[in-house]
């Protein structure tokens, strides 16, 4: 019954302006500077309050509503980034946008991204699209065509949840992906799990060789952060650095960043 109520609610969420984006900072591990933000969808439900994607993303995906919601995410995130870049004179600030597998099955996605780029006048290189599910090589015709179309626009493509999905070496080597995100579960127990330490080290070494950038996600402790630094990991995200925030809060963080106070310096105990 709740599922039904949510599905009915989702049909109206766009026009009722109930979706919001929160943003989680991504930092450069060597300098500690904020280099980008990941856009994370939230639904301000009239009865249940602010809902995380786990509660409604599966319904968006199974109902087909993911296409219109996804379009809203892309437009909103690009507009927001353009605003921040101009206001704080941070032309290199980047944004990460998550894509559902269903979105890749529609070639129109390329048009949607192209329009968002034109409307916001952003450098396409500042946009990183995160693909959640597995192997690019084994994707079907339409999906591959969509991915190629996106590449042609100049946006960056990234594999999310790396280490938990099926990914062929070919998928990494064909120049399709610019980066991958180490899965949160690999990072979570890294200080206690020798095997995860070795996997992470090896994955980062492999990425180096292929000229792929690596982000570690879900960093919650200083020792995890130090370990990843010692592995030469490029970028980092996690509650230790910052939780996802509302746009207004991001503006405040960006203001102090350009004043020279890095998030990490403030977040560190």
Q: How deeply is 247 buried, as exposed, middle or buried, from its count of CB atoms within 10 A (0-12, 13-18, 19+)?
A: middle
Candidates 36, 66, 100, 130: give the one binding Mg ion (CB under 5 A).
Answer: 130
Which x/- pattern over 53-92 shows residues binding ligand C2E (rule: CB under 6 A)? Answer: xx--x------------x--x-------------------
Whichever of 85 and 98 has its CB closer to ligand C2E, that residue is 98
What's the Rg (C-alpha) of the chain? 18
Identify the DSSP state of 89.
T
Name which of 173 and 189 has its Cβ closer to ligand C2E: 189
Phi, psi of 226, deg, nearest 5: -65, -40
Query: Site mask, ligand C2E, residues 221-240, x = CB under 6 A?
Result: ----------------xxx-
Provide the terminal-to-terminal Cα distance of the chain, rounded to the nearest Å: 45
Cβ-based nearer residue to Mg ion, 37 or 117: 37
220 binding ligand C2E? (CB under 6 A): yes
Residue numbers 85-104 binding Mg ion by CB under 5 A: 98
Residue 181 in 3-state DSSP? strand
Q: How far is the CB of 15 from ligand C2E (least distance, A)?
A: 18
Pick between residue 7 and residue 133 the one whose CB is nearest to Mg ion: 133
By the rule CB under 5 A, 160 interacts with Mg ion: yes
Binding mask 25-44 for ligand C2E (x = CB under 6 A): ---------------xx---
For ligand C2E, the binding residues (CB under 6 A) are: 24, 40-41, 52-54, 57, 70, 73, 98-100, 132, 160, 184, 217-220, 237-239, 244
For Mg ion, the binding residues (CB under 5 A) are: 98, 130, 160
């Amino acid at each position: 019954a709740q599922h039904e109520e949510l599905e009915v609610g989702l049909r109206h969420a766009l026009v009722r302006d109930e979706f919001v984006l929160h943003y989680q900072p991504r930092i450069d591990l060597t300098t500690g500077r904020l280099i980008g933000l990941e856009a994370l969808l939230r639904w301000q439900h009239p009865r249940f309050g602010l809902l995380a994607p786990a509660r409604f993303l599966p319904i968006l995906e199974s109902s087909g509503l993911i296409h219109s919601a996804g379009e809203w995410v892309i437009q909103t995130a690009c507009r927001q980034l353009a605003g921040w870049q101009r206001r704080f004179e941070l032309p290199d600030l980047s944004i990460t946008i998550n894509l559902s597998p269903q979105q890749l099955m529609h070639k129109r996605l390329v048009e949607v991204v192209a329009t968002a780029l034109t409307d916001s006048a952003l450098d396409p290189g500042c946009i990183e699209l995160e693909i959640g599910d597995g192997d690019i090589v084994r994707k079907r015709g339409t999906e591959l065509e969509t991915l190629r179309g996106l590449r042609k626009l100049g946006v960056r493509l990234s594999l999310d949840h790396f280490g938990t999905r099926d990914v062929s070496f070919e998928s990494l080597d064909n120049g399709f992906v610019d980066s991958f995100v180490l899965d949160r579960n690999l990072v979570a127990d890294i200080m206690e799990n020798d095997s995860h330490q070795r996997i992470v080290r090896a994955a980062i070494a492999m990425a180096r060789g292929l000229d792929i950038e690596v982000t570690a996600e879900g960093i919650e402790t200083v020792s995890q952060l130090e370990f990843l630094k010692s592995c030469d990991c490029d970028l980092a995200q996690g509650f230790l650095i910052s939780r996802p925030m509302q746009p207004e809060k991001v503006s405040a963080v960006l203001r102090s960043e350009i004043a020279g106070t890095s998030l990490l310096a403030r977040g560190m105990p």
